[in-house]
Amino acid sequence: MRDFDKAAATWDDEPRRVKLARDVAACIAGRIALHPGMDVLDFGCGTGLLALDLQPLVRSVTGVDSSGGMLEVLGAKAASLALTNVTAVHRDLERGDLLEGSHHLITSSMTLHHIRDIGALLSEFSRVLLPSGHIAIADLDLDGGRFHDDGSGVFHDGFSRGWLADMLESAGFEGVSCETATSVTKEVAGGGEREFTVFLMTGRKR
């Protein structure tokens, strides 16, 4: 597994990560009516790039991650901005942890390809979503395994949009829709650069 704790300190130094989060946040805001009464859970929040972009638009954001190092960075950023509506929570679902609380919206960006059992995760999302709550997942289109230089801890080489939409519907979500949220250009193994598209898939709990 990649050492995300070690990577946390310099994670935000990569401009493409900051841009990706900003683009995904804008796409979410264009698809879902965010409002000041909304409680959001951001799963796989990392250093909180997406969570902090959504924070001014909602009542609260709970950032959940399995990396303590990433959560420390998020906590430090929230403290430096004197934010009282951002909470960092350590959970590792791969080790049997469960999500907590009741949420109007669950977001997740560039995390699902690190999750072995997608069906179990979506069921867990549904469990902590309020009735008619929304889900917004951003991840890679099928990439042939070229996005990651190190494939350890990567269980999916991107996703077929149709397959993931079927998984959401099987987990009890309706009104599932998908669009391209942004693209990421990065160097790949063997030399040269490649553009990778990132989709946003949304749905509503039945």
b/e map of 97-115 (b: 16 or more CB within 10 Å)? eebeeebbbbbbbbbbbbb
* Tens-digit pLDDT profile for residues 86-102: 999 999 998 999 999 99
Q: Cα(63)–Cα(147) distance, rounded to whole angstroms?
A: 25
Q: In whole angstroms, what is the distance from residue 43 CA to residue 34 CA?
A: 17
Choice between 3 and 168, residue whose per-residue pLDDT is larger: 168
For the chain, how many structural domains are there in total? 1
What is the extent of the structural domain holding 140? 4-205
Task: Please report, for the domain that includes residue 177, its CATH number.
Answer: 3.40.50.150
Q: How far apart, in whole angstroms, are the C-alpha atoms of residue 177 and residue 31?
A: 9
26 confidence band (pLDDT: 50, 70, 90): very high
Q: Is the pTM of this model over 0.85?
A: yes
Least confident stretch, 15-29, 67-81, 150-164: 150-164
| Residue 138 in tokens | 């951003």
**Ordered DSSP codes for 111-154:** -GGG-S-HHHHHHHHHHHEEEEEEEEEEEEBP-TT-S-SS-TT-
Q: Parallel, antiparallel, or unpaired for β 60-65 and 129-140?
A: unpaired
